[in-house]
Structure formats: C-alpha cells, structure tokens
C-alpha cells in the first residue's frame, strides 16, 4: 500500500465536488460547497501519490457539539485505513479545541451499512436505552423567479 499523506484545511471546491461525485453523493451547487468548506471547523484531506483519495470535515460550535461531516473515501482507496486516519485526525482536532473540564459531544450520521466502521472507531450507534434515533429533515428552497 502506498503512503497516505494527510493535510489540514487545504481542500479546494473542485476537489470537494469531485470527491462527492466519486462516491455518488448528491451534487451541490458550487457556491453551496464553497460556503460549506469555509464554515467548517476543520477539514482533513487524504492524498496518495499526490491524488486526493479521501476527506472529512468537522462542523459545529466547537464547545458543546461537533459533527463529523462528509467522511469520504474513494472506492479504490477503501479498506486501506484512509477513513480511519482521517477520522482520527478529526478527533484529535476536537480534543485540542475542547475546553478544560468539559464534555464535548462528537456526533455523526452515517450511511446505512457503515455503522461497524464507526463503532470500531469509538462511536455509539443510536438508538440506545437512553438515546433516541438520529433524525433528519431535508429543506429545499426553490428559485423564486
């Protein structure tokens, strides 16, 4: 396996959109993608032989809650530790920004079938006896013209 290099906060919009397309995620408008990247707390990208093969970003308030968002590994790089390396770096960032003597919630919503990967990396699947299921609502804004 070739060496993976991780970089922080160096992801450009074109690469982000290409990574999303590479795993068949919903397309984003360019300005939407640009704003999403700009508003991230931390973005980690994974490179192999100079080619970006994965990424993940952290969003949230940096004090009470952070979310792992857009953890992407291109199919040809899956199963080689790329996702784990990116996730570990995001967790390290969250630990660095966490305030002393506080608890920080690190959350995510994973694709169906990916639960085992996240459980191996220390995440708890919901629902549990005390936590309800994760919820989502898609909000769509139509052009008003």
51 occurs within a structural domain: yes
136 occurs within a structural domain: no
28 occurs within a structural domain: yes
Contacts with 108 (C-beta within 8 Å, 6 or more apart), sequence order: 67, 68, 69, 71, 118, 123
pLDDT in tens, 2-46: 799 999 999 999 999 999 999 999 999 999 999 999 999 999 999
Contacts with 110 (C-beta within 8 Å, 6 or more apart), sequence order: 117, 118
Contacts with 123 (C-beta within 8 Å, 6 or more apart), sequence order: 106, 108
115 occurs within a structural domain: yes
CATH code, domain with 82: 3.40.630.30
8 occurs within a structural domain: yes
Question: What is the pLDDT at residue 15?
Answer: 98
Question: What is the pLDDT at residue 27?
Answer: 95
132 occurs within a structural domain: no
pLDDT in tens, 61-108: 999 999 999 999 999 999 999 999 999 999 999 999 999 999 999 999
Asked whether 28 and 34 are in contact (CB, 8 A), the reply is no
Look up the domain containing 52 and give its range. Answer: 4-120
Local confidence band at 1 (pLDDT 50, 70, 90 cut-offs): low
106 occurs within a structural domain: yes
135 occurs within a structural domain: no
Q: Which is it for strands 51-60 and 65-73: parallel, antiparallel or unpaired?
A: antiparallel
pLDDT in tens, 101-138: 999 999 999 988 999 999 999 999 999 999 999 888 98
Local confidence band at 145 (pLDDT 50, 70, 90 cut-offs): confident
Q: Taking the CA of residue 35 as centre, how many other CA atoms within 13 Å lie in the half-sphere pointing to its CB?
A: 5
Give the total number of structural domains in the chain: 1
Side by side, the strands of the sheet bearing 51-60 are 4-8, 42-48, 51-60, 65-73, 105-107
Question: What is the pLDDT at residue 136?
Answer: 87
**Mean pLDDT over residues 40-57, rounded?**
97
């Amino acid at each position: 396996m070739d060496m993976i290099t991780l970089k922080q906060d160096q992801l450009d919009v074109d690469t982000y959109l290409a990574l999303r397309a590479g795993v068949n995620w919903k397309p984003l408008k360019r300005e939407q993608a640009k704003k999403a990247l700009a508003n991230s707390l931390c973005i980690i990208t994974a490179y192999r032989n100079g080619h970006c093969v994965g990424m993940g970003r952290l969003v949230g308030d940096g004090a009470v809650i952070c979310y792992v968002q857009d953890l992407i590994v291109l199919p040809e790089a899956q199963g080689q530790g790329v996702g784990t390396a990116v996730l570990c770096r995001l967790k390290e960032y969250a630990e660095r920004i966490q305030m002393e003597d506080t608890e920080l919630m690190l959350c995510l919503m994973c694709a169906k079938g990916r639960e085992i990967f996240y459980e191996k990396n220390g995440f708890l699947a919901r629902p549990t006896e005390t936590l309800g299921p994760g919820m989502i609502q898609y909000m769509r804004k139509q052009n008003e013209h």
